[in-house]
Amino acid sequence: MAEQSQSLRTPVTGETPSAPAAGGVSRRALLGTAGATGLALGAAGAGVGYAAAPAQATPLSAVGSGRAMFHGKHQPGITEGLQARGHLIAFDLAAGAGRTEAAALLRRWSATADRLMGGEPTTHDDTDVARDAGPSSLTITFGFGNSFFARTGLEKQRPPALDPLPDFSSDHLDKARSNGDLWVQIGADDALVAFHALRAIQKDAGSAARVRWQMNGFNRTPGATARPMTARNLMGQLDGTRNPKPTDSDFDQRIFVPSSGEPGWMANGSYAVVRRIRMLLDDWEKLSLAAQENVIGRKKSNGAPLSGGTETTAMDLEKARADGEYVVPVNAHARITRPDQNGGAAILRRPFSYHDGIDADGTPDAGLLFVCWQADPLRGFVPLQRKLDRGDALSQYIRHEASGLFAVPGGASDGEYVGQRLLEG
């Protein structure tokens, strides 16, 4: 779990403000007017005396004004940096619902996602939960599970890469919290913006689909550290130093289905593996600092490999101590997950931490909502997890409790909805 990097998120600027909603100013328009409004209010207040002056309006912060785009080559929520709040939710189509109902649902969901990611309310019955916020880098991502294709009569369009994942020795899976016909990932840098989107997606499902499972996660809030840095997980480790980067020459090849790939409706899409991984924190926290670092293979303080250097220094797998033992133990997590130790297998990890309370025995129900992306899970997640199954030192401190694999089609063009090429092809 410790091999993933965090890229910086760049707010998109220059979008055209949309028309105000009836009776008020839209949140998207507010991005450009909040500062000017504050000046106007301050001047008006000064005319009637200092004591009566209203508080000056504060412009939306950089966190609130960050915006991801819904339409594009790829769906949002894959290459963006880690987001402070996240919701993962899976749906099953309702009894009697098929391809027609699924197409209508994806059309509704896509329209809602486009509006919410632009900082607009939903078209009707908006809850106003996010009324005062900017887009906050909201992303909404949609995928299809293996079972979706039989439910919609599209078995011939089901990709071979979507075959069920094999069993792993670390699995203790709850079937009720695994898989699903449809999957939605929601991420944002504001908790209320993320919840607002979750509620809107659930309401849009209407009678076409019912919730199968839903999980909530979080990461460090942007700006909480003095400089941008790799995130930490609930074990206190820097989590993700060796994540593939969009600037890598083979990034698209590893993460996205090519435009000429099969099936055609998955062009520019990706496959998401979702795992709820419980961390056995009571056991982990009993280890000494040195023992924890040997399990991971990196320094807890700065993520540097035990062989020396900084976080980004290449790990020296051959370096040995005076007693002949490797400095980075043979079963260290960071050694086992290196692509050059796995035939080049690589995944783009984009997880959320989670904490779902304390069990009756006082054990924290906490860990990682692991989400990873790859062009083909048989060349990405599966070989890595098989290798970890055979001797990862970290395995005795974690437990895989839920699992899912979803085909995430490419992004929708303007005027399209996600999955349209599958459902109407």
Q: Which two tokens stand for residue 248?
A: 């890598």
pLDDT of residue 130: 94
Of 6-10, 51-55, 401-405, minimum mean pLDDT range: 6-10
- The three-class DSSP label of residue 416 is coil
What tens digit of pLDDT does each residue of 158-215 get?
999 999 999 998 899 999 999 999 999 999 999 999 999 999 999 999 999 999 999 9
* Residue labelled with tokens 């995944």: 347
DSSP string, 247-265: TSTTHHHHHS--TT-SSGG
For 45-131, strand residue ranges (E) read: 85-93
Q: Which of 92, 190, 239, 392 is catalytic?
A: 239
The 3-class secondary structure across 274-291, one letter per residue, is EEEEEECHHHHCCCCHHH
Q: Which residues of 218-251 are buried (b: 16+ CB within 10 A; e: fewer)?
A: bbeebeeeeeeebbbbbbebbbbbbbbeeeeeee
pLDDT of residue 57: 57
Helices 99-117 and 191-205: crossing angle in degrees, nearest 10, is: 160
DSSP string, 307-376: TSS-TTSPP-TT-B-TTS-BSS-TT-HHHHT-GGGTTT---EE--EEEEEEE-TTS-EEEEEEEEEEES-
Q: Which two tokens stand for residue 363?
A: 């054990």
Q: Are 182 and 93 in contact (CB under 8 A)?
A: yes
**The pTM is what?**
0.86
239 is catalytic: yes
Of 61-65, 324-328, 405-409, minimum mean pLDDT range: 61-65
Percent pLDDT > 90 in the chain is: 78
What tens digit of pLDDT does each residue of 359-397 get?
999 999 999 999 999 999 999 999 999 999 999 999 999
What is the rounded distance in angstroms from the CA atom of residue 40 to the CA atom of residue 341?
A: 62
Confidence grade of residue 101 (pLDDT, cut at 50, 70, 90): very high
- The three-class DSSP label of residue 217 is strand
pLDDT of residue 246: 92
Q: Are 373 and 270 in contact (CB under 8 A)?
A: yes
What is the rounded distance in angstroms from the CA atom of residue 128 to the CA atom of residue 57?
A: 20
Largest CA-CA distance found in the chain, in angstroms, rounded = 81
Q: Which residues of 187-217 are buried (b: 16+ CB within 10 A; e: fewer)?
A: bbbbbebbbbbbbbbbebbeebbeebbebbb
What tens digit of pLDDT does each residue of 21-67 get?
444 444 444 444 333 333 333 333 334 343 455 555 556 678 899 99
What is the rounded distance in angstroms from the CA atom of residue 425 to the CA atom of residue 422?
A: 5
Q: Are 30 and 134 in contact (CB under 8 A)?
A: yes
- The three-class DSSP label of residue 190 is coil
pLDDT of residue 52: 54
Q: Which two tokens stand for residue 81?
A: 């940096």
Of 22-36, 91-105, 170-184, 281-295, minimum mean pLDDT range: 22-36
pLDDT of residue 170: 85
What is the rounded distance in angstroms from the CA atom of residue 168 to the CA atom of residue 385?
A: 8
